[in-house]
């Protein structure tokens, strides 16, 4: 009996560890925002999005006058040295976490009074056009925060998702908190940042960046299972569907079709990327209502019909 109790306690401790925020944070590092390397002069020259962000920030601060091309060349290294000297840091020409932190000084979230009581029935709306994250209490807007979202070449995932895990850390590209989303085609989340100057722009690899002070607050209000709707004008997704959609298909193009169906009143469910029975039924209902062949599939003709009904290209 004593042995069984020891085994049971051991199993409980194991599951507790597996569910710990520290380990969930480690799993979050599969997202595209996780480039966290020390930048320096090298042969071949280092290059990437992190170098580009560095150059843009140094340019904002008037330390870099060259071309922001994502290549860590001598001119970039010299600009880093000038910045480090101005900050009274060790002048190395190397960009480590301390340098990233110094680059973010003065970009903290503006101090504003938050509501005294936490919201009930929390859901979140991320508006990619306005670059805002709104915490809602049921149908009522509760508090709005500024964000950075994905670049055009690495867009944030439009659709209706849920928070599936939460984690925390004290430094690095995720900032202080991470909330993973249920997007099936990649690792995306809402998180803090060590590059606060990017807030208010389309600068990420697809995740939703927030000021660390702000994401800490949202982290307290939201829980696993909290709905997160990421929205943008329909015209932003036009052109993403280049195939005929049928049952069991998945992907951003399915989300687009579901959003169009929802807008026309035929799909009252979450736009979750899966072309299941309910999506097929909605397509058949739409086709029947509009005198189209009831195939249950979204081909080019059906898609164009949906886009016309919604007025997608009138939004451009």
* Catalytic sites, residue numbers: 191, 207
How many residues in the chain? 316
Element (H, E) at 59: helix 49-60
Q: State the residue for tokens 């938050």.
A: 114
- Describe the strand order of the beta sheet including 122-127 as a list of residue ranges: 140-146, 132-137, 122-127, 227-231, 159-168, 177-181, 189-191, 208-209
Give the CA distances from residue 153 to residues 46, 114, 159, 224, 257, in Å, rounded to whole numbers and listed in that order: 21, 35, 18, 29, 21
Three-state helix/strand/coil letters over 251-264: CHHHHHHHHHHHHC
Contact 165, 27 (CB under 8 A): yes
- State the burial class of residue 127 (Cβ atoms within 10 Å of its Cβ: 0-12, 13-18, 19+): middle
If DSSP codes are grouped into helix, strand and coil, which group holds residue 310? helix
Beta bridge partners of 196: none
**What values do phi and psi take at 76, rounded to 5?**
-70, -45
Contact 298, 241 (CB under 8 A): yes
Element (H, E) at 179: strand 177-181
Cα gap 68→71, rounded to integer Å? 8
Beta bridge partners of 39: 95
Cα gap 61→290, rounded to integer Å? 57
Cα gap 316→307, rounded to integer Å? 12
Cα gap 89→84, rounded to integer Å? 5
């Amino acid at each position: 009996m004593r042995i069984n109790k020891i085994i049971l306690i051991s199993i409980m401790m194991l599951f507790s560890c597996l569910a710990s925020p520290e380990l969930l944070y480690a799993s979050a590092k599969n997202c595209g925002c996780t480039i966290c390397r020390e930048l320096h002069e090298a042969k071949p020259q280092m290059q990437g999005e992190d170098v580009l962000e560095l150059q843009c920030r140094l340019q904002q601060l008037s330390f870099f006058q060259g071309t922001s091309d994502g290549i860590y060349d001598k001119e970039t290294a010299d600009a880093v040295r000038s910045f480090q000297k101005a900050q009274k840091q060790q002048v190395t020409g190397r960009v480590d976490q301390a340098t990233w932190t110094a680059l973010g000084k003065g970009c903290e979230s503006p101090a504003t009074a938050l509501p005294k009581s936490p919201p009930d029935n929390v859901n979140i709306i991320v508006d990619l056009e306005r670059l805002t994250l709104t915490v809602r209490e049921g149908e009522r807007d509760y508090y709005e925060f500024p964000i950075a979202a994905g670049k055009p070449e690495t867009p944030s995932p439009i659709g209706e998702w849920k928070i599936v895990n939460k984690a925390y850390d004290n430094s690095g590209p995720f900032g202080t908190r991470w909330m993973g989303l249920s997007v099936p085609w990649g690792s995306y989340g809402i998180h803090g940042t060590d590059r606060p100057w990017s807030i208010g722009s389309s600068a990420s690899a697809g995740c939703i960046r927030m000021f660390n002070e702000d994401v800490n607050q949202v982290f307290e209000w939201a829980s696993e299972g909290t709905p997160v709707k990421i929205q943008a004008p329909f015209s932003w997704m036009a052109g993403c569907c280049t195939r005929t959609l049928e049952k069991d298909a998945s992907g951003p193009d399915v989300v687009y079709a579901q959003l169009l169906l929802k807008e026309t009143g035929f799909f009252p469910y979450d736009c979750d990327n899966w072309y299941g029975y309910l999506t097929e039924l909605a397509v058949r209902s739409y086709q029947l209502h509009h005198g189209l062949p009831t195939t249950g599939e979204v081909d080019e003709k059906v898609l164009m019909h949906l886009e016309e009904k919604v007025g997608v290209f009138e939004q451009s």
